[in-house]
Amino acid sequence: MKQPRPMEDAARARDILLRRAVLAAVLCFLLLGAVVARVAWLQVTAHERFVNLAEQNRTRIEPIPPARGLIHDRNGVVLADNAPSFQVELVPEQVPDMEATLAHLARVLVLDEADLSRFRKALKSGKSFDSIPLKLNLDEEEIARLAFERPRLPGVEVQARLTRVYPHVERVSHVVGYVGRINEREMQVIDAEAYRGSSHIGKTGLERFYEDRLHGKVGYRKLEVDAHGRTLRVLEEVPATSGEDVHLTLDLRLQAVAEAALGDFLGAIVAIDPRNGEVLAFVSKPGFDPNLFVNGIRTGDYKALIENPDRPLFNRALAAAYPPGSTVKPVMGLAGLEYGLITPEYRMFAGPHYQLPGQDHKYRDWKKGGHGWVDLDHAIAQSCDVFFYDLAHRMGIDRMHAFFSEFGLGRPTGIDLPGEVSGLMPSREWKRAARNQIWYPGETLIAGIGQGYMLATPLQLAQMTATLARRGEAVRPHLSRDAVMDPLAPIKLRREAYWDVVLGGMDHVINSDYGTARALKGGPYRMAGKSGTAQVFTVKQSESYDEKRLSRKLHDHAVFVGFAPVEQPRIVVAAFVEHGQHGSSTAGPIVRRVMDGWLLGDFELKAAEVNDKAETD
């Protein structure tokens, strides 16, 4: 029979009960503290975040892209415009299944791989609440199909946007440039907030150079939405600020005259006002249709442009560096006077060729029988090579480099366009650094007539001629009427009379009975200029240049620079005609035609053609 268990000690039982009560109290206190801490964190620390999350459940911020500023010529003609179009956009956070939605849209719209690729790249770099365009320029049928499918496509919207339009197509394509869709590389460098809701950015020309002015400032619209993301009402709206319009110095009428003057030739023409540097015409032929690039150029169209042997995408006025030929001879003569190597009265006998002392190589003159006795005036007017061979030999390449650089050769002009090349004004130091070779005396001779390593753009030749016409008062070419350009230091000579001698020679190129371009003489204003020929290939000593036996692509390039009126110049024109053979007979009349347009207002017919072109295109 079991013995009854002894009664537990009452004091011990109370002690156990007390410990358990204390433990329970501590646990309750800790749990209460955690709750209080969590509530404090929610109410204080994370208050703004959760308020925003709650707000985002009922509201949505929609960016309002700004209207891009327009580009006008000097007379107010619109060169870059905005036109309404419709595009389909997706807001990622409102799309439950992105791949399924894209597959659905591919059955409704015609989507190519480029559209999908651009969208996916933007999707990775953009924010979930930003509207991302998928396809631009929807037609009416596509809009109707999307409206029918809209209830089954959450997060998909059709938006009315403005798209860029270039009404004059090729005529100003190299000046105005074009806009295009923002690519992945550009997304890494632009201000994402400034471009929220925007899909395009300036790619080339003025569209790129003045992007900050043209783009404008993004606005936003705060919308109240239901649980499915549908808009209920607009709570707040801050309108976008449109981009600034850019007004150019360019005259579209003169641009048309210059383009027509080139005829079937390829080349470039630059006309500027020597008094202030305003660019009046800026032609690179052929041009291209910039409208093709706005919403993504098709592969076939781009391939056709790239493979075109005439290189329509190449801006010849700005980025093509050609040998300037004899157009630099007035500057050479001025340098000879300034360095004291010749005087206005200095004369030399210029035979059919020139030889360096102790050498057999003959540097030929363009005139087979030579020019006989010539001074600087006749040497410029008749473009006597032998005179300038001799002057170059005595001057040396380093002094030539220093003097020509003052006229802007060998460095960019600083025009308000991207992509300008510097050309090349060679020197001993340049050849040693670039080619690790010494400079040869024969190279100095051919540089003295603008051949060899010397290279210049048509824009640089226009600036050089403007500096001559203004007797050393240099100007920087610009296209925007309110462009702020750094001033250029004037060129000071030991004697002002030197300008008279050289400018007199340029005047006699045309207005004498011995000048190379005397066929241009006459008319209601007096014009001065200088012809030039840029060699395409070097003729060997044992050979002669026979243009009749050569294909056109091997013909020399024709160059001509001029200014008018001689007494008070108001226009300078530089024309470069590829494979035009002769500066005087080919490029000279082109320059004269452009001057007639500006000085005589002889472009009324061309203005009508401009309007017709804008309407039909």
Q: Residue 57: exposed, middle, or buried by beta-carbon count in 10 A (0-12, 13-18, 19+)?
A: exposed
Distances (CA, A) of 130 to 156, 341, 516: 12, 71, 66
Set 85, 198, 199, 326: catalytic member: 326
Q: Determine how many CB atoms are found less than 10 A away from the CB of residue 305.
A: 17
DSSP assignment letter at 607: H
CA distance 59 to 423: 57
Burial code (b: 16+ CB inside 10 Å, e: under 16) for 492-508 equals eeeeeebbebbbbbbbb
Cα 411 from Cα 423, distance rounded (Å): 6
CB atoms within 10 A of CB 283: 28
Other beta carbons within 10 angstroms of residue 453's beta carbon come to 18
Contact 268, 316 (CB under 8 A): yes
Q: How far apart are the first and last CA of the chain?
A: 120
d(C-alpha 288, C-alpha 282), whole Å: 14
> Can you read off the two tokens belonging to residue 269?
């023409």
Question: Looking at residue 558, what DSSP letter applies?
Answer: E
Residue among 406, 418, 242, 239 at smallest CA distance from 335: 406
Strands across the sheet with 219-225, in order?
59-64, 219-225, 231-238
DSSP of 107-159: HHS---HHHHHHHHHHHHHS-TTS-EEEE-S--HHHHHHHHHHGGG-TTEEEE
How far is Cα 284 from Cα 5, in angstroms, rounded to an integer?
Answer: 116
Q: What residue spans of 41-97 are helical by DSSP H?
A: 47-58
Q: How many CB atoms lie within 10 A of CB 205?
A: 25
Contacts of 437 (CB under 8 A, 6+ apart): 431
Q: How far is residue 409 from each of residues 80, 143, 450, measured CA to CA in Å?
A: 32, 56, 11
Could you tell me whether strands 231-238 and 557-564 are parallel, antiparallel, or unpaired per DSSP bridges?
unpaired
| C-beta neighbour count of 388 within 10 angstroms | 28
| CA 453 remoteness from chain centre | 26
Give buried/exposed letters for 222-234 (b at 16+ CB in 10 A, else e).
Answer: ebebeeebeeeee
- Identify the burial level of 89 via C-beta atoms within 10 angstroms of its C-beta, where 0-12 means exposed, 13-18 middle and 19 or more buried: buried
Structure tokens at 489: 């230091």
* Known active-site residue 326: yes
Catalytic residues: 326
